A and B are shown apart, each in its own frame.
Chain A
Amino acid sequence: MTKPFIQISGLSKRFPGANGGEPLTVFENANFSIEKGEFVCIIGHSGCGKSTIMNILAGLDTPTDGGVIMGGKEISGPSLERGVVFQNYSLLPWLSALKNVTFGVRARHPDWSRAQVFEHSQKYLEMVGLTGGAEHRKPAQLSGGMRQRVSIARAFAIRPELLLLDEPFGALDALTRGTIQDELTRIWSGSEQTVFMITHDVDEAILLADRILLMTNGPFARVAESVVIDIPRPRERAEIIHQPAYYKIRNHLVEFLARRSKQLSGVRDHGGEPPVTVRPGAEDPDEQERRPASRPQLVSVAS
């Protein structure tokens, strides 16, 4: 059996209790893996520690126990191999959109010439639709959607092995969110990018993900289920809702979040078993055997 691209094993996070009391365990003994090229979303209620998991993957936070192995190496700090798109965009406000992207590209390729860096950055800004002078504006002069596009361009432009998206569309209105989701799918399907994304939006997760990890409520949260999205790609927002599997998956997710995330929570010292794989969208029992979930042929336009 080949090793998965990213293996999260025995991951726990505890915070020391107030006044020396019992420590607060956010999540405990989390075990799951991510394959190369997979798009994985993680959903859970606030406080279940999904942002902490993401920060540990980014190398910005350290687990109390356990660890993460990516590509055969343990994650011990931030790296350019793991690009992050933060919820609040985290653009540097004193730099123009273009300079924000060149900032990342220059860090990734210190040996590149100025023209090379510029050309590469420009290409990724075009990919997210930021052209015609908008790339020379400062973040404060751009709308929320445009800022998140710049942030996505910056992350994609450094071509990390793993892309971490922390609720990237959380602060956007529904219409803008839809447009950028489409753009993200388009850019992603042209790359072989592995993506790990936090979201609160069930529909967004079904549209984008190959697999959705469901977390129970904290404290003592755990990754309870791994829901495979058996909906063929390319997916489109307008089309996907007519897929027979769509509502089966959606109902399963909503049911979990509304009820079972609470029922399953608070289990201490569980055995650390990996999440149960569920395929609510599978058409017939034979489908269950097919692994991994069907994906279209990947064609790289970047590079």
Chain B
Amino acid sequence: MNGIALSDNTKAFLLSIALLVAMLGIWELATPAVKSAGELTEYEMLTGGGGEQARVPPPSQVIEKAVKELSNPFYDNGPNDKGIGIQLAYSLYRVLSGYFLAALIAIPIGFLIGMSPIAYKALDPFIQVLRPISPLAWMPLALFVIKDSQASAIFVIFICSIWPMLINTAFGVANVRKDWVNVAKTHELGQLKTAFLVILPAAAPTILTGMRISIGIAWLVIVAAEMLVGGTGIGYYVWNEWNNLDLTSVIFSILMIGIVGMMLDTVFAYIQRAVQFQE
């Protein structure tokens, strides 16, 4: 109409930018500026009132903090002052080790359950009881049995990521089209070859869906787990900055949790697309 045809993607992108600017603007305006010392009453001066730490910081301060932290993410000045990169790396290490341990167990067992209706029925009550347990409820027991807070955090990730993978793998394997299994049979494929050449690729999209759900849950749970076990990690960092009343750092780390979570999901979405097939 006006000569410039914008693609839908460009339009959506421009709208996103506009929304971001609007939200930041409202946030900036909604956080009152700190009064200068001359305007403080005597009472406020005595109580240290008007200190910026006690207010929700404006976005400009958060951005300033982000630039400062991200320009040197891996510094280490002792137990209570580590760069954001180090904290995230600790969390990622725990999430990934717990997660892959869970995958190592959930996928083969899910496969067996899916192949055998008897195993499915026998294990189903256990899965149904264990699945709804909040992973953090395991923490005291894990701490007592394992006697190591790091390993306990990994265990909590393990226990929360195992269920979606187990259930999806079993479901995917149990619902492989009978025609494809017949193709394997008429070609005289052995059980192992049938599993790897036919059932695994046929169930892969469902299995990957479970893996993607699991990694999302694991990243949600690690923050809470680290708030409990302390020491290192992004969850500990958030809680530590709250104790320091440094809300700028709290908001900054909340954003970082979101960004890393999105990146994890993107990786799995990519793998999921790679194994997806059209019938």
Contact = CB atoms under 8 A, between A and B. Distances in A.
Interface residues of A, number: 24
Contact of B185 (A60, A103, A138): A60
Contact of B186 (A58, A93, A94, A140): A58
A92 B201 contact: yes
Nearest to B177: A90
Nearest to A86: B179
Given A92-B201, A140-B279, A78 B180 contact: no
A79 interface: yes
Given A94-B201, A103-B197, A79 B279 contact: no
Nearest to A60: B182
Interface in A75-102: 77-80, 82-84, 86, 88, 90, 92-94
B186 A60 contact: yes
Contact of A107 (B179, B188, B204, B278): B188
**What is the interface of chain A mostly: helix, strand, loop, or mixed?**
loop
Given A60-B182, A88-B179, A103-B197, A93 B188 contact: no
Nearest to A108: B187
B15 interface: no
Contacts of B179: 86, 88, 90
Interface extent on B, as a size class? 10 to 19
Contacts of A84: 182, 186
A93 B278 contact: yes
A103 B180 CA distance: 12
B197 A80 contact: no
Contacts of A59: 185-186
Contacts of B197: 103
B202 interface: yes
A104 interface: yes
A80 to B, nearest CB: 5
Interface string B166-202: 0000000000000110110111110000000110011
A122 B140 CA distance: 62
Q: Which residue, A86, A90, A140, has most C-beta atoms of chain B within 10 A?
A: A90
A120 to B, nearest CB: 15
Given A140-B277, A140-B278, A92 B185 contact: no
A92 B198 contact: yes
A207 to B, nearest CB: 26
Contact of A94 (B182, B188, B189, B277): B277
Nearest to A81: B188
A90 B187 contact: no
Nearest to B205: A94
Interface in A36-71: 58-60
